[in-house]
Chain A
Amino acid sequence: MTAFRSPAGGRIDRSKPIRFTFDGRQMHGHAGDTLASALLANGVHLVGRSFKYHRPRGILSAGPEEPNALVTIDRGGGRETPNLRATQVELYEGLVARSQNRLPGLRFDIGGINNAFSRFLGAGFYYKTFMGPQALGGAKLWARLFEPAIRRAAGLGRAPAGPDPDRYANRFAHCEVLVIGGGEAGLAEALRRSEDPACRVILCDEQAEFGGWMLVEAPERADEMVKALSARPNVTMLRRSQAFGAYAQNFVAIAQQLTDPLATTDAEAPCERLWQVRAGEVVLASGAIERPLVFPDNDRPGILLAGAAETYLRRYGVLPGRKIVILTACDTAYGAAFALQDAGAEIVAIAETRAAPGAGDIAARALARGIPVLPGTTILGTTGHLRVSSVRLGRIRPDGEAEPSGGFTADTVLMSGGWTPSIHLFSQTKGKLRWEEGLGAYLPALPAPGQAIRVIGAAAGEMPAGMRSPALGALPVAGSPDRVKAFVDFQNDVTARDLRLATREGFRSIEHVKRYTTTGMATDQGKTSNLNSLGIVAAETGRSVPEIGLTTFRAPYTPVTFGLFAGQARGDLFDPVRRTPMHDWAERNGAVFEDVGTWKRAHYFLPRRPVDATASGHAAMHEAVQAECRKVREAVGLFDASTLGKIEFVGPDAAEFLERAYVNPVKGLAVGRCRYALLLNEAGFIIDDGIIARLAQDRFHVTTTTGGAARVFGMFEDYLQTEWPDLKVWQTSVTEHWAVIAVQGPRSREIIADLVEGIELSDAAFPHMAVREGRITGTPCRLFRVSFTGELGYEINIPAGLALPLWEKLAERAAEFGGGPYGTEAMHVLRAEKGYIIVAQDTDGTMTPEDMGLGWAIGKKKPDFIGKRGLMRPDLTASGRKQLVGLVAEDRSRVLEEGAQIVPDILAPAGSHAIGHVTSAYSSAALGHGIALAVIEDGRNRIGQLLHIPMERETIAVRVVEPVFLDPEGARLHG
């Protein structure tokens, strides 16, 4: 039997002892305990150090509102969670808990020195020090002295460094009624609503058991109600489930703990689940939270809320202490007093802040039990190093001050300032609140438009008279209230003095006071402090609470792990990874992949022969790319172009639509022919390019860039549906239906010739920029005679599921001809040698066709196309625009850096206007020197000029040349 465990009672399982450690110390508890109740059973109140002053702090509450008892739970193997509230952590065998924010230990903490300097750490300390006059060294002092020290000393638990080994799950759920809070009101509502079997009811509660306060007062009734609900198939009951966010249209986010600490769990099973619930109606039955009282030294361990003490006793069989003084502003504390007295504790006195004790005969009953009741009395101070040991009482005078009236020794002080309805979730949905003077609290008034949210029970202010108290703010003190530390916000160490100071310095709105003093801004979001803060500011400024305003309630109601939000989206499931049908072949053949959008594309292929161990990765890549380029220029290369976007346009108006969409003339395109096509936005800038191929009078096969596929398809859908809905044409994405194998190089025709059926391949019958439908190795295909390399070439479109065998066959043949696969890097080099642009590399969203030397593509006679009017804007027709040119460094071996800025003058000082920049730069195997594409102001008129690229250590001289470096006549295309 642990020291403070009552001999009987409570809902713990006394037959199941549980061992756990706190800061390395072995202790015992029972199944059904929380860490907080087990610590109290072991006589431990001191559980943490406060945020700013490092004052010793104890357990204040028995629920999610706990501001002090934050612990790190270490489940081993990287499963370490900081900042958990000990009042919500269920005990399990072997639990390892550590206190936080202490240096080096809980009982002796050097950070407590902040406490000695607390006069300097008051309201707005951070701001004042940072903004302070330079003469006083404000900013410097902050940076050098205060910030490092405070950062070291202040703070919460430490975030774990390793990856989180746990799993997190997600569920979307729908119901007619979501009941939040499984106390008496919530259970009754769930029972009533679920009588209709067609009404799906979800009931959630943050605790391991449903019942709420009934678990203290009437556990049998709770059990009955839970049993009745469990029998109904239309009811989903979520235990350990905190509704932490309420959003528009009855959408609620719930964090459910899945790891039942007492059960052996499946290692594969998730530990938390995010419920995203859409309800027909949300019923908020979230109860009420007891308010602390604000008196000097009210933060010592051993001082806790009266309702929490009663909960610990009656639900967990734990006595928080043996010699107890009670300070109360409402009647509920009497219940705690009587129960504790019955359990053997001495109730030294009940100090009543009210002049006349509460309803009915409650005070008389206390007196009959031999408990002194002291009306109009408050606590003027407490003593005790790591735990309260005595209290000094004071009589409240009519003038609002207090005078000493004796004292008591005590190991525990219970306080009750009344009960605050938990309206956080209602407020999150932007519901309107109203101030209820008699409760000293806000109540729900009117749901926001579109919200079906109803608040019931204590959360709606439905409380017996004994729970109601208008008391708010700081209690009277003897002498100057600025000489004492009466805490309002325990977690952020904000005192009544801080709040008064803020109002004296001119802060009026509670939102400003909050930011200045940080009250209510800790992870508990001021659940126990907000109303007392309001009360103090109201008293200080002589206004009513509603005049001061109310800070905004925001999700999450209690802190939520990052893992819950990430859910499944981590590792391989972070984002889809798209692979082409040839991916595995490429991988087996040494491909190094690059990400292009969500696609994996073979960047280059590392030859299987051992790479020179001294060669860097960059050198190996260079060598591979040069070899791939040579193969294409000298023999034949295979390129996986499957990721290109492909759209099939069909309908009598297909040509008309494409004519309006692209800059090119399309209506005149003959069946069986292709055209390089440019797509602009309405501003006139290039956004995509590709090939338009006419398969029939009313059927086109159009390609887009890999990265632009989805965007372009969406843009066309927009024009089809909303701009030109009268056109009879439809588009269908066939990107994933067709795999594309580009066969490029002087030997390309030879390696496909005998595989193709039904297509005459001669240059005359099937010229450059033509398309045919036929078969290859017996499979239907679309064969394009197109080239992005400047060589004779084909692009074979073949159904994706049938592409790999064809690729393998072609790869074998290519190898026989001295060719092979090439990756996207070689593709980039090959096209740059020909001056073919890559949209979004050589263009940046501000380039016109004319800028890129592609003005020839525009159908000049077309009355309109997307971007035509944009191209007529004065800025786009002005001279001096940047134009695409080629660059070769005077040191020809030099490969320039993409993005490098270009200036005309070798001695241009730093910061000079740059006339352009390098967009593409490679080492050309075919030419044996470095080449680059660049966009330069008035570039075409500068061909032949010498320009300069200032780099970090040198300035590189470059010559402007035509952007086509190889075969400008195009002879190789027509092999």
Chain B
Amino acid sequence: MLLIRCPWCGMDRPEIEFRHAGAAHITRPGPPDRVSDEEWAAFLYLRDNPKGRVAERWRHVHGCGRFFNAVRDTVTDVFVVTYKAGEPRPPETGPGESQPTEARP
């Protein structure tokens, strides 16, 4: 079980208190009549699936209840940083390649 630092609580808390909530920094385009079908489809369905650092949303649902963002490495599972919803991704956190590790057969 991972530990995740909730930027609102200021504490490391066990993973099972949290819910993953998809990719972070996705802007809902609008207003509707100015959004192309392509733009809307991208908003609905198109997501990156990088090997390495990814910015994603989490909610401390069994804690303070708040949504926040996290930069996590999809290879090592290490949380690089967490920050409050609405704040920009810290520039030093990537996007970057993680250190290579052996393939997991």
Contact = CB atoms under 8 A, between A and B. Distances in A.
Interface of A: 172, 247-249, 251, 276, 278, 430, 448-450, 511, 552, 682-683, 714, 717-718, 721-723, 725, 863-864, 868-870, 872-874
B93 interface: no
Contacts, number: 69
Nearest to B37: A873
A682 B67 contact: no
Given A722-B57, A869-B30, A247 B1 contact: yes
Interface string B61-105: 100011100000100111000000110000000000001010011
B10 interface: no
B32 to A, nearest CB: 4
Contact of B32 (A247, A449, A872, A874): A872
Contacts of B28: 682, 723
Nearest to B65: A717
A249 B5 CA distance: 12
Contacts of B78: 248, 449-450
Interface in B18-41: 19, 21, 28-33, 35, 37, 40-41
Given A721-B67, A723-B28, A864-B31, A248 B2 contact: yes
A251 B104 contact: no
B24 to A, nearest CB: 9
Nearest to B24: A722
B76 A722 contact: no
B44 A870 contact: yes
A172 B15 CA distance: 13
A449 B40 contact: no
Contacts of A874: 37
A864 B37 contact: no
A278 B4 CA distance: 13
Nearest to A720: B67
A714 B59 contact: yes
B3 interface: yes
Nearest to B73: A449
B21 A718 contact: yes
B85 to A, nearest CB: 5
A722 B32 contact: no
Interface of B: 1-3, 14, 19, 21, 28-33, 35, 37, 40-41, 43-44, 57, 59, 61, 65-67, 73, 76-78, 85-86, 99, 101, 104-105
B99 A449 contact: yes
Given A449-B76, A718-B67, A249 B86 contact: no
Contact of A722 (B3, B19, B86, B104): B86
Contacts of B41: 873
Nearest to B69: A722
Given A450-B78, A714-B61, A717-B59, A722 B67 contact: yes
B35 A430 contact: no
A449 B21 CA distance: 25
Contacts of A725: 85-86
B2 A249 contact: yes
A864 B101 CA distance: 47
B32 A868 contact: yes
Contacts of A722: 57, 67, 85-86
A924 B93 CA distance: 63
Nearest to A871: B32
28 contacts: A248-B2, A248-B77, A248-B78, A249-B3, A251-B2, A276-B1, A278-B14, A448-B76, A449-B78, A449-B99, A450-B78, A552-B105, A682-B28, A682-B43, A717-B59, A718-B59, A721-B66, A721-B85, A723-B28, A863-B32, A864-B32, A869-B30, A869-B35, A869-B40, A872-B32, A873-B37, A873-B40, A874-B37
Given A249-B3, A430-B76, A870 B40 contact: yes
Cβ-closest 6 pairs across A and B: A869-B32, A450-B78, A511-B105, A722-B85, A721-B67, A868-B32
A812 to B, nearest CB: 42
Nearest to A250: B3
B35 to A, nearest CB: 6
A781 B37 CA distance: 47
Given A682-B28, A722-B57, 12 more contacts: A247-B1, A248-B2, A249-B2, A251-B1, A552-B105, A717-B65, A718-B21, A722-B86, A864-B31, A869-B30, A869-B35, A869-B40
Contacts of B66: 721
A278 B61 CA distance: 21
B19 A714 contact: yes
A722 B30 CA distance: 15
Contacts of A450: 76, 78
Given A450-B78, A682-B28, A430 B57 contact: no
A427 to B, nearest CB: 10
Contacts of B19: 714
Contacts of A276: 1
Contact of A552 (B14, B37, B104): B104
A922 B40 CA distance: 40
A649 to B, nearest CB: 16
Contacts of B104: 552
Given A718-B21, A718-B67, A874-B37, A278 B44 contact: no
A172 B21 CA distance: 26
Nearest to A249: B3
B30 A864 contact: yes
A46 B83 CA distance: 62
Contacts of B85: 721-722, 725
Nearest to B101: A430
Nearest to B4: A249
Contacts of B86: 722, 725
Contacts of B99: 449
A682 B14 CA distance: 31
A172 B101 CA distance: 30
Contacts of B30: 864, 869
A717 B3 CA distance: 23
Nearest to A509: B105
Contacts of B29: 869
B25 to A, nearest CB: 11
Contacts of A873: 37, 40-41
A234 B37 CA distance: 63
Nearest to B3: A249
A248 B59 CA distance: 20
Nearest to A721: B67
Contacts of B57: 722
A644 B30 CA distance: 33
A869 B67 CA distance: 25
Given A276-B1, A714-B61, A863 B76 contact: no
A876 to B, nearest CB: 11
A448 B19 CA distance: 25
A725 B1 CA distance: 31
B44 A682 contact: yes
A448 B1 CA distance: 16
Contacts of B2: 248-249, 251
